[in-house]
Structure 1
C-alpha cells in the first residue's frame, strides 16, 4: 500500500471535493513506481474526474457497498465539448471518456489538449492523427492462429516488450474481406463508400513478446488475422501503454440528471480504459451514468463483478476503437429506475470499430441487447447470459457491416423472446448461435450485409438448459490448462 486517500485530504463524509486529494494520491503512487491508493468506507464527493495515468496503480475502495464516489460534474463541464471527427453535432462523450479514466498520462494529456482545441482526435495507440508510431520490424507472412512469427530485424525486440502489430489494407480492401471471412460475399461487398469503416484501418493489435530466438519471435497470444505481404505487416511502437492498473471495490454514482437525447450525452460516464493493457476493474458499480464501462483501444483487460444501475444509460458497456482480447465476466445491467425520456436510446453490451476477440461471460441484462454496432467487429463471444432483449444497435451506414466473421453466441436465455442481435445465424458470417432460447423477430430487424452463403451455424436451438458446456469461454480456457 502506497497511500491512504484520507492522508491526502479526502473527506469520507462528502462535505468537500475529494477529487484533488485522490488525484494527488494516485499521481504520487505512480511517480513512486506504482502501488495501491486506499479509499476507506464513506462517501467522497468528486467535482473533477479521477485519472490513473501511471502503470501499476490501483484505486481500491472497501467494497462497492461501502465506498462511494459521488460525481457532481460531467466531462463537458470538466474538459469541454467533444465533437465527432466525422462531423455533425454529435457529442463524443456519448461513447468516450470516464469520470474514472485509466489512460497513460502522455496519451491522455495529448487527447485532452486536442479536445480543448476542437481538433477532434483519433483515440488509439498511434496518436491523435494516427501518425505517432515508428517501425520496429517488418513481419514475414504468417497465418491466423500462429504464435511464433518471423521478423526481418529482431534487434529492437525482447521478451516482455509490448508491441503493436499493424496491418494496412490494400486498394481492393482484401484485409476487410479477410476480417469478414473471405469468399464471394465479402468480395462483392462495396467497401469504398464505407468511409468511417475504412478510416478504422490500419488494424492495430497490441501484444506482448514472450520469446526471441534469432528472427523467430513468440507472442503472448496467437495472431488474430493473417499477416500477408499485401497488408504491409509490421511490429510498431506506439504510445506507451498503461499496464497493471485497476479500480476495485467502489461505487461511482453521478448526480441524477435526466438522460440526454441520443448522441448528445454530456459525459456523466463511468469507468473507461483507454490505451490500457492488462488492467482491470473488480467489484465496481456505476450508477446514473450516461455510459457505464468503456474499453477504448484497450486490450487484455478484465472487468469482473461490475454493475450498471440507476436512471438508464446509453451504452452500459462500450468496446470500440480497436479494443481486443478483453474479458467482461459476472456483469449485470440493472433495469432502469425511471422511464426512458423521449429521444433517448439504449444499446447494451457494445462492440464496434474492428474490435475483436472480446468475451462477455456470465451476465445478467435486465435491459439492453447484444449491441453489435457496425464498424465490423469480429470474432467476439457472448456466453452464459440472460437478457431482456429490449435495446437496439446503432452505427452509421458508413461504418459498414454489423458483423465480421466468427461471432459466437453460446448459452443465452432471452426473457422476452426477441431474436434480434442474439440469434445471428441469418446475418453474421461464419458465426455460431448455440443454445439460445426460442425467439422470434420483432422490433429492430436486420438484413445481411453480405450476399450468398454465410457459413453460419445454429445448434441446440430453444434448449439452452441442455447445453454442455454451459460456458464456452471457460471450456476453452480449461482446455489450455
Structure 2
C-alpha cells in the first residue's frame, strides 16, 4: 500500500504555494479588498464563499451523543440502524439536533445499507485511525450509508419571468416581471430553459457517435439554481448567493428564464457522518456492475461528512442534485488496486449547490478523483485537494461555478490532466461541454486542460503546469501561468471579506 500523504493540523495556512503574482481578474485594490474584473457584458468570477455547511464559515456542530453502541459478532447492520431509528424519533433541540449514534472503537461488519432519513441525526465513530472505529463491508456489494430526505422541490404559485435581456454570471440580482407573492427569505428556483437555439450556439447539436446522434442536454428541460431571496426593491430581486451562469435572452426565448417560489418539506438538515474508517473487499469491477460504495447524500441541506478514511470502494462519495450547503472535510480515499475498466469510477461525484470539499485526498490510480454531474449550478469549491492521478474533471453536460483552489494533482498525464475543463464531445453518451465559468486557482499539476465554451469563460489562474490544447477548440484564460497569485486561496479570502477572520478560523484555517 502506498503511504497516505496527508497532513491535517487543527489550523492550516491558506496555501503552501508562495504567492507572488497578481491576477488580472481578481486582485487586491488599494483598500486591500478584492476587486473583480468584468467583461463587456458584466460577467465576472463569482463569490464562491457561500459553499459549505450553513453557507460557509460556520463550524460543524458537536452533536451530543444520544446512543452508544459496541461491535457485535457478525452483521451489525440491524443494530446500528435500530439505534439511528431510535435517535430519529427523539424531539430535536433548539438547534435542530436530535443526537449522535456513537460507535465505540472496534470493527463492525456491515452487510447492508444504513439510512439516516430524519433531521438532526449523526453517525459518529471513535476515530478514523487504527484504534478507532472500522466499518468492514461484507456481503454482496452495497452502499454503506444513505443520508437522504424525501420528495422534491414543490412549486408555490406561478413563476415570474426574468425581464433583463442579459443577466451576467457572478452577479446576484435581476429584474422580474412581478414580485407579488414573493417575500424576503423565500426559497426560489431560478430556471434557465434549455432551448434548441442555445444548444446550437454551444455547438452541441452535431454530436454523432458510431452513426448515432447524441443528446447533450434535452431541449425543453430546465437548469435549476436553488437560492433564497435576500431583498426586493421594486421589481429587482436580490438573491442570497450569486448566479453561476449567465442568462442571454437571445438564446433562451421562448420560453425565457423564470423565477418561482418553492418548498421542500422532505429535505432534511443537520445530518452527517464522522470519525470512522470504511473498508471494502478489493474489487476491480466494471462501473455497470454492483460495487461497494460509501455515502450518498441527497435531499439534504446543511449536511456533512468529516474525518473519514475509505479503503477499496468505488464511486465512493455521491452528493445528489437536491443537496445544498454540504461540507466534505478530511475524507481520505485509498486504493491499492488500480481500476482497469474502460470507464473509470468517480471517488467524489458532486451535484447539488453550495458544496464544499475541504482537505480531501485520493491515493491510488484508475479513478476520477472529483467529477461534477450534469447541469450542476455552483458554487462548488474543492479546496486543498490532492490526488495521485488525474484530478478534478467536470464530467458532463454543463456544470457551472466550480472553483478548484490550491492543491497538488500529481502524476496527471496529457491524456488525463489534473484540471480538465473541456468539451468532451461525444464521450460517454454525448457529454459535450462539461463546464462553464470554472476557476482553477493556484493549482499545481503536470498538465492543465482549460477550454473556452461559447458565450462563457473558464479560468486557470496562478496554476503551475503545462497547458494542454485540443485542435479546433479555443483555450480558456491562462492568467499568471506558473506564477502563483495573491490571495493564495480565493475561497478563504472571499470568506474572510464577507464574514471576517473568525469564519476562516471556524473551518480550520488562519
TM-score of the pair, normalised by structure 1: 0.72
Distance 2:136 2:269 in 1: 26
> Are residues 147 and 281 of structure 1, via their aligned partners in 2, closer, same or farther at CA, if it must alter by over 3 Å?
farther
Q: Report the 3-state secondary structure (helix = DSSP H, G, I; strand = E; otherwise coil) of the residue aligned with 1:27.
A: helix
- The residue that corresponds to 1:404 in the other structure is 435
Tell whether 2:371 aligns with 1:350. Answer: yes
- The residue that corresponds to 2:299 in the other structure is 275
Question: Which of 480, 495, 504 matches 1:477?
Answer: 495
Name stretches of at least 5 consecutive residues in structure 1 with no aligned partner. Answer: 77-97, 108-124, 127-131, 178-185, 337-344
> Are residues 356 and 153 of structure 1, via their aligned partners in 2, closer, same or farther at CA, if it must alter by over 3 Å?
closer
Q: How far has the Cα of 1:75 moved from its partner? A: 5.2
Name stretches of at least 5 consecutive residues in structure 2 with no aligned partner. Answer: 1-62, 93-97, 208-212, 340-344, 500-510
Contact 1:435 1:462 in 2 (8 A): yes
Distance 2:188 2:104 in 1: 37
- The residue that corresponds to 1:25 in the other structure is 83
Matched residue count: 396
Structure number having the greater strand percentage = 2
Q: How far has the Cα of 1:427 moved from its partner? A: 7.1
Contact 1:151 1:215 in 2 (8 A): yes
Question: Which of 443, 446, 458 matches 2:478?
Answer: 458
Q: How far has the Cα of 1:459 moved from its partner? A: 2.0
Distance 2:122 2:184 in 1: 25
Contact 1:18 1:46 in 2 (8 A): yes
Distance 1:51 1:365 in 2: 29
Distance 2:121 2:308 in 1: 16
Distance 1:367 1:187 in 2: 30
Q: How far has the Cα of 1:423 moved from its partner? A: 3.4
Q: Report the 3-state secondary structure (helix = DSSP H, G, I; strand = E; otherwise coil) of the residue aligned with 1:22.
A: helix
Q: How far has the Cα of 1:371 moved from its partner? A: 1.9
Question: Which of 43, 53, 61 matches 2:117?
Answer: 53
Q: Report the 3-state secondary structure (helix = DSSP H, G, I; strand = E; otherwise coil) of the residue aligned with 1:349.
A: strand
Cα deviation digits, residues 176-198 of structure 1 (max 9, x gap): 68xxxxxxxx3555279552522
- Structure 2 matches for 1:305-324, cutoff 5 A? 305-312=330-337, 314-320=345-351, 323-324=352-353
> Are residues 67 and 162 of structure 1, via their aligned partners in 2, closer, same or farther at CA, if it must alter by over 3 Å?
farther
Tell whether 2:303 aligns with 1:293. Answer: no
RMSD: 3.3
Question: Which of 267, 271, 275 matches 1:249?
Answer: 275
Distance 2:458 2:245 in 1: 16
Question: Which of 379, 391, 394 matches 1:369?
Answer: 391
Q: How far has the Cα of 1:333 moved from its partner? A: 0.6
- The residue that corresponds to 2:461 in the other structure is 434
Q: How far has the Cα of 1:433 moved from its partner? A: 1.0
> Are residues 413 and 30 of structure 1, via their aligned partners in 2, closer, same or farther at CA, if it must alter by over 3 Å?
same
Contact 1:39 1:62 in 2 (8 A): yes
Contact 1:200 1:354 in 2 (8 A): no
Contact 1:3 1:25 in 2 (8 A): no
Q: Report the 3-state secondary structure (helix = DSSP H, G, I; strand = E; otherwise coil) of the residue aligned with 1:231.
A: coil
Q: Report the 3-state secondary structure (helix = DSSP H, G, I; strand = E; otherwise coil) of the residue aligned with 2:497.
A: helix
Distance 1:206 1:18 in 2: 38
> Are residues 195 and 74 of structure 1, via their aligned partners in 2, closer, same or farther at CA, if it must alter by over 3 Å?
farther
TM-score of the pair, normalised by structure 2: 0.68
Cα deviation digits, residues 140-166 of structure 1 (max 9, x gap): 4363522576574654x6665544333
Tell whether 2:272 aligns with 1:266. Answer: no
Q: Report the 3-state secondary structure (helix = DSSP H, G, I; strand = E; otherwise coil) of the residue aligned with 2:437.
A: coil
Distance 1:397 1:189 in 2: 14
Distance 2:234 2:103 in 1: 48
- Structure 2 matches for 1:25-174, cutoff 5 A? 25-32=83-90, 33=92, 34-65=98-129, 66-74=132-140, 98-104=143-149, 106-107=150-151, 125=152, 135=157, 137-141=159-163, 143-144=167-168, 145-147=171-173, 152=178, 155=181, 162-173=187-198
Distance 2:471 2:302 in 1: 36
Greater mean alpha carbon deviation, residues 226-235 or residues 50-59: 226-235
Contact 1:208 1:220 in 2 (8 A): yes
Q: Report the 3-state secondary structure (helix = DSSP H, G, I; strand = E; otherwise coil) of the residue aligned with 1:290.
A: coil
Q: Does 1 or 2 have the higher relative contact order (CA < 8 Å, sep 6+)?
A: 2
Q: Report the 3-state secondary structure (helix = DSSP H, G, I; strand = E; otherwise coil) of the residue aligned with 1:264.
A: coil
> Are residues 188 and 232 of structure 1, via their aligned partners in 2, closer, same or farther at CA, if it must alter by over 3 Å?
same
Distance 2:222 2:292 in 1: 31
Contact 1:423 1:436 in 2 (8 A): no
